[in-house]
Chains A and B, each alone.
Chain A
């Protein structure tokens, strides 16, 4: 009897282990191993061959194994202003876009969270609805809207506000519009989740204690919805930094972003080692702030 319960327990534990293992194995095979391959290539040297990089490990005649790490790629990234500027420009665009998404998304999320249950469902559906259309198609649609002969310029000329079309397409502005438009749902949804959990009597309590609406927002609402703010910001910031399609289609050749550099190094230049080094540095740029945040959060929840 006892052993039967034990074996049942064991099989339950096995199931649990299995269910947890599946996604981890998936991530291991399709994420971690490829990442190490990229890391490996970043320490290699560009050669005219297929594949176009030198081997990292080499077996000598004596049977010993040699590993050749070439740091040239990283040094090159540092020495060539193009890469540094592109990284900085990417970060600037992604940070600005994240802030813009937050400013636009917070009121929307707040409104949805405070709507009646029926309205809430419809509004949430409207936030998710754009995903039904292909992302690429939606970015192309923005070209039609923002072009010199596009809908917006034509309309403004027609009502007589302007005589000459405003240049919007192939500017930073177009890239911001594209990124904010595309990533807004990723900001709204986590914000909505944390605002909806907020107990409204806390606002009344704050008001009752003499706090004006804006102070209440600053001292009660924002701190209590911080998890949503951080989650939403990370969900926008991380993909926006490495974004390729939007700067390529809406920014043209005028907006330098690291995703585009990566693309051209890999495809046009066929310089896989440099492209890999660009990718590794990008990853470090994105992972470090996340790790700092996680450490801060762990400290917050365990201490005081």
Chain B
């Protein structure tokens, strides 16, 4: 079979399985899976920046929160309906990534990590500071009238799963197309050897900025859908922990592999779900997984698989 055929078969199969899951799984797990798919889209966006372009950001919570607040506040403050609110969330995520990128991409490596962390922290504090418009610490509930795209009531389990699936399917297709495109190849070139890329005629700043904006668009989309599907917008989603989560998912599943974030998000979600049933110290699990990954599996699960034979994995 051709490489292209294998890729289509694998990713099509994953989508088919996810589609079938809503009819096969009990409601509790189906709801979990809907959440996992939205978080996976967030992590896919993170993977575009980190896994493919080599930009290790610690500030993606800002882009996720911008998507979430962009969509949520459009409903809460100006009573927009779901579709324009979601569009607002997407735009907010991308614009925030562009603005942060314009400044942060003047630095690299550790400085880039700290700068993105600081911008995200400032964003979180701004949400607290402007509590009158954002709901501050307590956040706010997205009312039902703003959660009915195309007449689908996202408060119900069925439509909620369908919406999460649609988002995930589009994001996955987009991600595959991106990394197999010419621009995807240039992103990899930036990660592998920036100096050489420049001497092949590419402007590293522009390439990285565009990759970061696409990444922010994904994070914004995930944030907007999160608000729509689960009906709550809160400052905790803008905290550092929410910048660490997509990094964790991506590292676990495999950085620079399209399906890595989904696998990482799914495993981590259930790991925490099970651990929090046993102990309140679920953050301990997160910490331990981070340390173990960095020590023993820096390429992640699918990354290791790709090194051991599945070289075609995009």
A and B interact: no
